[in-house]
A = this chain, B = another copy of it.
Amino acid sequence: MESVKLFGTWSSPSSKRVEIALKLKGVEYEYVEEDLQNKSPDLLKYNPIHKKVPILLHNGKPIVESLLIVEYIDETWPGPAILPSDPYDRAMARFWAKFLDEKCWPAMKKAWLSTGEEQEKANEEANEALMFLENELKGKKFFGGDTIGLVDIAANLIALWYGINEELSGLIQQPLTKDKFPNLCEWVDEYTNCSFVKENLPPTDKLAQLYMARIQADKASAQ
């Protein structure tokens, strides 16, 4: 019998990427919540190099790194395609997913955690990165076109973060506003209203509390 186990944490956008891909494909799985302050022997055994979640354990074989897991899921199970079939479109999807992880998310985090001049610079970088995504969505419902694909699942972190926008408004500057980024804001609505995404969103108040505590702790330790 097939065994599919996911090690994750409820607040991690990366873990959520994997859950959403599994739900999109209709794959049954067992979910194991990890406490990152006290990592389980299984976590350390299955991801000895990075020692982090998510980890997908498929018939006893571990796969790590959220985007690689999503590609694995797409190649392994039937159901709606997550990556396009055309090689050029696939390369572009991988490009934007990588861009989200390597450019967009670090700039957004820096904009949250820095202050003064550094924050202004980081805000500019985050704005620039988000504007590339805004343009990429022109005339499209999802990054993947009419249906959710790799880039939508990767951009999960923007949707989660947008959801706690208001709660954090006193604490951080929010570059993602409807007047500046109408396409991205509309995308967040469309994306978070898909049933298999909606049922996977972490509770907004709990997530806001967690991020608020993290931001305050990071700012305090940076001073």
**Which single member of B64, B69, B90, B132 contacts A49 (CB below 8 Å)?**
B132
B75 contacts A95, C-beta separation under 8 Å:
no
B132 contacts A65, C-beta separation under 8 Å:
no
CB neighbours of A88 from chain B (8 A): 58, 61, 63, 72
A87 interface residue (CB < 8 Å to B)? yes
Nearest B residue (CB) for A103? B49
A68 interface residue (CB < 8 Å to B)? yes
| A contact face: mostly helix, strand, loop, or mixed | helix
A94 interface residue (CB < 8 Å to B)? yes
User: 8 Å CB contacts to B: which residues of A87-101?
Assistant: 87-88, 90-92, 94-95, 98-99
Identical copies of this chain, number: 2
A64 contacts B94, C-beta separation under 8 Å:
no
A223 interface residue (CB < 8 Å to B)? no
In the complex, how many residues of chain A place their beta carbon closer than 8 angstroms to a beta carbon of chain B? 23
- A selection of 17 A-B contacts at a CB cut-off of 8 Å is A49-B99, A49-B132, A58-B88, A61-B88, A63-B88, A63-B91, A63-B92, A64-B95, A65-B94, A65-B98, A68-B91, A68-B95, A69-B91, A71-B90, A71-B91, A72-B91, A75-B87
Instruction: Given A63-B92, A65-B98, output 8 extra A-B contacts at Cβ < 8 Å.
Output: A49-B103, A63-B91, A68-B94, A69-B91, A72-B90, A72-B91, A75-B87, A76-B87
